[in-house]
Structure 1
C-alpha cells in the first residue's frame, strides 16, 4: 500500500525531500505559503497547495490527520514551525519529522511531541568536518548526542592486518560492525576477528564520538 506524505515548507531542504519522495513513487502533498514555491512543485508532487499551516482549520481541510508522515520543513519562522507541529500532533498525525533551527528549537519540538527532529545544516557540517580530517572518511552519521557511525576506507595503516592485529575495540573503544570488500563488493556483517583487511575495503564503525575521533586521527588519517 502506497504511503502518503506531506511536506510543509518548500525551501531547499523541504523541496529536496519532496522531490526525492515523489521520485520514489510516493504520494506527496507539497505545502507552502509562497505561491511561487508551490507552483514549482505542482508538476512534481501529487498535490501542491498554498496554505498557512498555523491555521488549525486549514490543516483539517487538507486532511492532515489521514497523512502517514508529515515533514515540517519551515525555514526561519520558528514560531510557525512550533505552532504547526503542535497542531499536527493534536490532530493525531501518525509521524511528524521537523527541521530545527537550533538546539532550543529542538527542545521545544521534542516537548510538544515531534517524533523526529533533524538539523540538516549542523549534520552536514559534521560530515564535512570529518571528511576534511581524512579523504578516507566516506560518511558520518550521528546516532545520538554522544554516539555516531562512520564509514571509512581502509588505507595503508590497515592494509594486510586483521581485526585482531588492529584491536580496534580495545585501543579505540569502537566496534567494526561490517566490512565491504574492495574487490568483489561483498559485505561481511559482524566480521570474524581474523579477517584480513585490504587497502580500499570499507569499514562500518560505531562508537562514542570521542572514541571515533581518536580512531579517525590515529588509524584512518593518512600521513
Structure 2
C-alpha cells in the first residue's frame, strides 16, 4: 500500500497550542516548519520538530526568505500578542497561502483574523469550555460541534426509542435528529465489535451508546429525554 502523502504545514507560534499541534502533525507524518520569535523556546523544540526556526513573522521579507510562500497550508498559533497574530495572518494572505488557520483568543479577535485573510479561525479555550459545559449539563457523553449550529453527540438512548426499530421511533418528527451509529453494550465488554452504522432496522437497547447528529438545540433536547 502506498504511503499517504500530506502537504507540509508551517506553524507560526510555538506556545502550548502551536507546539502540541506541530508535534501531532509530525507524528502523523506531515512535514512541519515551526517558527517562533523566541530563541529559547525554539531551542527547546529542537528534536521535537525537525524544522524549527527563530524569526519575526511580522516581517514579510523574513517570511519570503524562509520559503513560507511555497507552503499551501499555514497555522497562526500566536497566543497573547494579538497585533502580531493579525499582522502575520495578513502577510500570509498577501503571500497567497491557500489555506490559513488562525488561533483567536476572543470573538472580536477571530472576526479581525477572518477580515485579514484567515480561512479558518479556531478558539481552543472557548471550544473546550463549551464542550465541557455540554458534558456537564446532561446525559451527553461526548460532544463535537461541526458547524455553527450543528453537532454530533455520544449518548445513551432514551426510553422511548428502546426496543423498537429506528424506522418506528419517529426520531426525525419528534426530535429532528438522526442516529448514525450504535455501539451495543456487549461491545463494551469486548464480545462484539465497536460502533457500527445504524440502519432503519437497528433496534436500540438500554446501555447502548449511540452517535446522534442534528442541530445543536435538537441534539440537546434529545439527550435530555429520559
TM bucket normalised to smaller: 0.7 to 0.9
Q: Secondary structure at the match of 1:21?
A: helix
Contact 1:150 1:206 in 2 (8 A): yes
- Count of residue pairs the alignment pairs up: 217
Shift of 1:211: 1.3
Contact 1:133 1:217 in 2 (8 A): no
Q: Secondary structure at the match of 1:129?
A: helix
Aligned to 1:144: 147
Aligned to 1:56: 60
Contact 2:160 2:169 in 1 (8 A): no
Q: Secondary structure at the match of 2:64?
A: helix
Contact 1:126 1:140 in 2 (8 A): no
Aligned to 1:89: 93
> In 1, distance between residues paired with 2:39 and 2:153?
40
Contact 2:13 2:77 in 1 (8 A): yes
Residue 185 of structure 1 pairs with residue 193 of structure 2: yes
Aligned to 2:201: 194
82-91 or 105-114: which moved more?
A: 105-114
Contact 1:180 1:187 in 2 (8 A): yes
> In 2, distance between residues paired with 1:158 and 1:132?
23
> In 2, distance between residues paired with 1:13 and 1:155?
37
Would the alpha carbon gap of residues 155 and 11 (structure 1) be closer, same or farther in structure 2, given more than 3 Å must change? farther
179-188 or 110-119: which moved more?
A: 179-188
> In 1, distance between residues paired with 2:18 and 2:11?
6
Shift of 1:95: 1.1
Contact 1:162 1:196 in 2 (8 A): yes
Contact 1:11 1:75 in 2 (8 A): yes
Aligned to 2:179: 176
Contact 1:148 1:206 in 2 (8 A): yes
- The residue correspondences of 1:62-141 to structure 2 (distance < 5 A) are 62-134=66-138, 137-141=140-144
Give me the TM-score of the superposition, normalised by structure 1.
0.88
CA deviations on 1:2-22 (whole Å, 9 max, x unpaired) are 421111111111111011011
Q: Secondary structure at the match of 1:40?
A: helix
> In 2, distance between residues paired with 1:166 and 1:218?
14
Would the alpha carbon gap of residues 79 and 198 (structure 1) be closer, same or farther in structure 2, given more than 3 Å must change? same
CA deviations on 1:22-71 (whole Å, 9 max, x unpaired) are 11121111111112221121101121111111110111111111123111
Shift of 1:79: 1.2
Contact 1:100 1:119 in 2 (8 A): yes
Where does the alignment leave 5 or more consecutive residues of structure 1 unmatched? none
